[in-house]
Amino acid sequence: MSTRATRRDGVTQPRLGPVGWARWAWRQLTSMRTALFLLLLLAIGAVPGSMFPQRSLDPARTTDWIERHPDAGPVLDRLYAFDVYSSPWFSAIYLLLFTSLVGCIVPRTITLARQLRARPPRAPRRLQRLEAHDAFVVADEDLPAVLDDAASTLRRKRFRIARHDETTISAESGYLKEVGNLLFHGSLVTLIVGMAIGHLYGWRADIVVPEGESFVSTVTRYDTWAPGPLVDGEDLTPFALTVEKMTASFEEDQAGQIGMPRAFSAEVRYADRLGGATQPAHVAVNEPLELDDATVFLLGNGYAPVVTVKDRDGQVIYSGATAFLAQDGSYRSTGAIKVGAAQPKQLGLVGLFLPTAVIDDTQGPISVFPDLRNPALAMSVYEGELYPKGSAQSVFSIDTDTMEPVAPDDGSEDIARIWLQPGETKDLPGGRGTVTFDRVDRFAGFAVRDDPGKELVLGSSVVALLGLIASLVIRGRRVFVRVVPAGDGRSVVHLGGMAKGEDDRLSRVVTDLADELSQRSAPAER
pLDDT digits (tens, 9 = 90+) for 89-109: 888 888 888 888 888 888 889
> Is the pLDDT confidence value at 122 over 80?
yes
Nearest to 203 by CA among 447, 446, 445, 451: 451
CATH superfamily of 120-173+475-520: Fungal kinase associated-1 domain (3.30.310.220)
Q: What is the pLDDT of residue 260?
A: 83
DSSP reduced 3-state for 304: strand
Q: What is the pLDDT of residue 94?
A: 82
What is the rounded CA–CA span in Å between residue 349 and residue 269? Answer: 32
**Amino acid identity of 148?**
D
> Is the pLDDT confidence value at 525 over 70?
no
pLDDT digits (tens, 9 = 90+) for 240-272: 999 999 988 888 877 677 778 788 899 999 998
End-to-end Cα spacing for the chain:
62
User: 115-118 — which CB contacts under 8 Å span 24+ positions?
Assistant: 115/175, 116/175
Percent of the chain with pLDDT over 90: 38
Beta bridge partners of 316: 310
Query: Is 193 buried (19+), middle (13-18) or exposed (0-12) by CB count in 10 A?
Result: middle
Q: What number of CA atoms fall less than 13 Å from residue 295's CA on the CB side?
A: 14
Which residues lie below 8 Å from residue 322, measured CB to CB, with a gap of 6+? Answer: 304, 305, 306, 307, 335, 336, 337
Instruction: Name the pLDDT band for 10 (thresholds 50, 70, 90).
Output: low
Q: What is the pLDDT of residue 524?
A: 45
Q: Worst-scoring range by mean pLDDT, 225-234, 429-438, 470-479? A: 225-234
Q: What is the pLDDT of residue 270?
A: 92
Q: Worst-scoring range by mean pLDDT, 51-60, 193-202, 208-217, 225-234? A: 51-60
Instruction: Name the pLDDT band for 57 (thresholds 50, 70, 90).
Output: low
C-alpha distances (whole Å) from 262 to each of 15, 258, 370, 451 are 69, 10, 12, 29
> Is the pLDDT confidence value at 491 over 80?
yes
What is the rounded CA–CA span in Å between residue 77 and residue 290? Answer: 35
Q: What is the pLDDT of residue 1?
A: 43
pLDDT digits (tens, 9 = 90+) for 434-450: 999 999 999 998 989 88
Q: What is the pLDDT of residue 154?
A: 93
| Entry pTM | 0.69
pLDDT digits (tens, 9 = 90+) for 146-177: 999 999 999 999 999 999 988 999 999 988 88
Average pLDDT over residues 107-123: 89
pLDDT digits (tens, 9 = 90+) for 382-429: 999 888 766 666 777 888 888 899 998 887 788 989 999 999 999 999
How does the average pLDDT of the chain come out, rounded?
Answer: 86
> Is the pLDDT confidence value at 50 over 90?
no
Q: What is the pLDDT of residue 390?
A: 63
DSSP reduced 3-state for 53: coil
Beta bridge partners of 250: 261
pLDDT digits (tens, 9 = 90+) for 15-46: 667 777 888 888 888 787 888 888 888 889 88
> Is the pLDDT confidence value at 274 over 90?
no
Nearest to 407 by CA among 432, 430, 387, 427: 430
> Is the pLDDT confidence value at 202 over 60?
yes
Instruction: Name the pLDDT band for 51 (thresholds 50, 70, 90).
Output: confident
Which residues lie below 8 Å from residue 239, measured CB to CB, with a gap of 6+? Answer: 216, 217, 270, 271, 272, 273, 274, 291, 292, 293, 294
Average pLDDT over residues 499-521: 86
Average pLDDT over residues 371-377: 93
Q: What is the pLDDT of residue 162?
A: 93
Query: Is 209 buried (19+), middle (13-18) or exposed (0-12) by CB count in 10 A?
Result: buried
